């Protein structure tokens, strides 16, 4: 019989506490002790077999999705995103859904959104106080939420925008707390969870979304560039459109998958930049040379090589999603190790991005490494890989470039003094502690 690779010997409930509250030291200690492959055991979960060598990551991402599906490893978000979401679907239905969703997210399509993204960034910057600390994470979330509402949902500012926005903010704050999503947890921890309110809220959000979908269907999508309009027009190979429930599930999916992720990646990028003024100077020089004094335009973006390298290096050093998993349905060989059925093969983004054999001086923030080396998709994979590669990667990178270019060309920031930023867990993502406080020194028009 094939056994699972060895791993920490602690009881599964203690491993869960480590994984929730000190995930990085927990992974690092396990890697020091067991090497590039070890098994973590959490209560009520299949064993998670962690891998951090590019060879193993390649085996995971190129595996047959029928034999190693991902959807069932994400069951925890199903109450939020719904059963038709591309996140939780597997097999033929997943492949079909991706085909429908992919065209609106194509890199070239993003150009339609640059003005909206830059305007929303400017409106947010204009509110920042001078000389007083404020949390960067919340500001970035403000930007990414408004961008999704305008570009994905296609809702213009006004009463409907404000109503939906308020509902979604509450939904995201309750819905991204894993404790609220596990059905048996409220019975155990009753007062500490808000599952009942969450379920009620999902009903209210659904009503608002169905209203928006029916208005859009009635008005027609002609001349519109938002993603909802494109999805309403999309047809599968049998000529069938997406139903209202499918559209609702995908809208919530994009919100859940795309809002906080992009905001947190931006916050980490600012965090690293604020530690290294010489890198900010180099970045500003590139922006000045390529963009000049005017707002950044789509044609500038592919010329901003250093900005691209800075974002990638921040994603390498502080990836916000630490692991991606595939459920092993039948025995398989990954990175030279035999795995039994019933485990989750876990490509560990964090450990691979910090692997000293792949990345010399891995703890150093050094964007230049991306100018001299083009890493393989198994050495650097902040957006996951294979048939589950992040659908919104081009969207997120595009938005991050616009936001960083606008902020850096308009303001001078420094990290709030006396605070040490640590990695903390926010739902399933790794975020900077205390919302990453910054102070604005100067604001240009």
**List of residues contacting ligand HEM (CB under 6 A):** 70, 86-87, 98, 253-254, 257-258, 261-262, 265, 320-321, 324, 382-385, 388-392, 395-396
Supply the minimum distance, in Å, between the C-beta of residue 118 and ligand HEM: 17
Supply the minimum distance, in Å, between the C-beta of residue 186 and ligand HEM: 27
Nearer to ligand HEM, 107 or 277 (CB): 107
Nearer to ligand HEM, 385 or 435 (CB): 385
Nearer to ligand HEM, 313 or 440 (CB): 313
Nearer to ligand HEM, 63 or 177 (CB): 63
Question: 275: closest CA among 317, 246, 237?
Answer: 317
Question: For residue 238, what are the CA distances in angstroms to 63, 96, 100, 234?
Answer: 28, 11, 12, 11
On the CB side of 94, CA atoms within 13 Å amount to 16
- The Cα–Cα gap between 314 and 240 comes to 41
Q: Are 276 and 382 in contact (CB under 8 A)?
A: no
3-state secondary structure of 294: coil
Supply the minimum distance, in Å, between the C-beta of residue 288 and ligand HEM: 26
Supply the minimum distance, in Å, between the C-beta of residue 87 and ligand HEM: 5
Burial of residue 255, with CB atoms counted within 10 A of its CB: 0-12 exposed, 13-18 middle, 19 or more buried: buried
Produce one character per residue of 13-43: b if its CB has 16 or more CB atoms within 10 Å, e if not: eebbebbeeebeebbeebbeeeebbbbbbbe
Nearer to ligand HEM, 86 or 290 (CB): 86
Q: Distance between terminal CA atoms of the chain?
A: 68
Q: Report residue 377 CA to chain centroid gap.
A: 17
Nearer to ligand HEM, 128 or 380 (CB): 380
Gyration radius (Cα) of the chain, Å: 22
Q: If you search the block for the tokens 């590139």, which residue do you land on? A: 286
Supply the minimum distance, in Å, between the C-beta of residue 60 and ligand HEM: 9
Supply the minimum distance, in Å, between the C-beta of residue 445 and ligand HEM: 29
Supply the minimum distance, in Å, between the C-beta of residue 14 and ligand HEM: 27
∠ Cα 332 336 338 (to 5°): 35
Nearer to ligand HEM, 10 or 424 (CB): 424
Residue 44, C-beta contacts closer than 8 angstroms, at least 6 positions apart: none
Nearer to ligand HEM, 186 or 375 (CB): 375
Supply the minimum distance, in Å, between the C-beta of residue 325 and ligand HEM: 7
Nearer to ligand HEM, 193 or 268 (CB): 268
Nearer to ligand HEM, 251 or 280 (CB): 251
Supply the minimum distance, in Å, between the C-beta of residue 231 and ligand HEM: 12
Supply the minimum distance, in Å, between the C-beta of residue 276 and ligand HEM: 21
C-beta atoms surrounding 117 within 10 Å: 25
Nearer to ligand HEM, 84 or 388 (CB): 388
Q: Are 404 and 411 in contact (CB under 8 A)?
A: no
- The Cα–Cα gap between 208 and 230 comes to 19
Q: What are the tokens at 211?
A: 């209203």
- The Cα–Cα gap between 138 and 124 comes to 11
- The Cα–Cα gap between 268 and 274 comes to 10
Across the strands, what pairs with 345?
49, 326
Supply the minimum distance, in Å, between the C-beta of residue 197 and ligand HEM: 26
Q: What are the tokens at 306?
A: 């250093």
- The Cα–Cα gap between 246 and 243 comes to 5
């Amino acid at each position: 019989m094939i056994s699972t690779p060895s791993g920490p010997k602690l009881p599964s409930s203690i491993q869960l506490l480590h994984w929730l509250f000190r995930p990085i030291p927990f992974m690092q200690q396990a890697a020091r002790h067991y090497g590039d492959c070890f098994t973590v055991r959490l209560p009520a979960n299949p064993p998670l077999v962690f891998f951090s060598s590019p060879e193993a990551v390649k085996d995971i991402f190129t595996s047959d999705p029928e034999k190693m599906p991902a959807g069932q490893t994400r069951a925890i978000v199903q109450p939020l995103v719904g059963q038709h979401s591309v996140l939780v679907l597997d097999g033929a239905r997943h492949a079909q859904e991706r085909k429908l969703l992919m065209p609106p997210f194509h890199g070239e399509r993003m150009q339609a959104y640059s003005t909206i993204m830059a305007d929303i960034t400017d409106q947010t910057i204009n509110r920042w106080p001078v000389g007083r600390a404020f949390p960067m994470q919340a500001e970035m979330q403000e930007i990414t939420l408004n961008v999704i509402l305008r570009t994905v949902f296609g809702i213009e500012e006004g009463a409907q925008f404000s109503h939906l926005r308020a509902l979604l903010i509450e939904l995201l704050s309750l819905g991204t707390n894993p404790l609220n999503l596990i059905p048996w947890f409220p019975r155990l921890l009753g007062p500490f969870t808000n599952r009942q309110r969450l379920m009620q809220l999902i009903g209210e959000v659904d009503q608002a979304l169905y209203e928006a979908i029916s208005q859009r269907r009635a008005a027609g999508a002609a001349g519109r560039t938002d993603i909802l309009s494109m999805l309403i027009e999309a047809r599968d190979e049998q000529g069938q459109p997406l139903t209202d429930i499918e559209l609702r599930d995908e809208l919530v999916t994009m919100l859940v998958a795309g809002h906080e992720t992009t905001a947190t990646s931006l916050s980490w990028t600012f965090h690293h930049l604020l530690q290294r003024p010489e890198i900010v100077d180099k970045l500003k020089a590139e922006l000045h040379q390529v963009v000049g004094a005017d707002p950044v335009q789509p044609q500038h973006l592919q010329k901003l090589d250093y900005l691209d390298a800075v974002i990638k290096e921040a994603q390498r050093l502080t990836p916000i999603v630490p692991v991606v998993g595939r459920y092993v349905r039948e025995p398989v060989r990954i990175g030279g190790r035999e795995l039994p059925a019933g485990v989750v093969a876990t490509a560990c983004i964090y450990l691979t991005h910090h692997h000293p054999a792949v990345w010399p001086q891995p703890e150093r923030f050094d964007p230049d490494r991306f100018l001299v080396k083009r890493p393989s998709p198994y050495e650097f994979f902040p957006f996951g890989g294979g048939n589950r590669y992040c659908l919104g990667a081009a969207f997120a990178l595009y938005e991050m470039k616009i936001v960083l270019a606008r902020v850096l060309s308009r303001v001078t920031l420094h990290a709030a003094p006396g605070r040490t930023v640590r990695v903390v867990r926010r739902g399933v993502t790794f975020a900077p502690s205390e919302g990453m406080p910054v102070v604005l020194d100067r604001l240009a028009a």
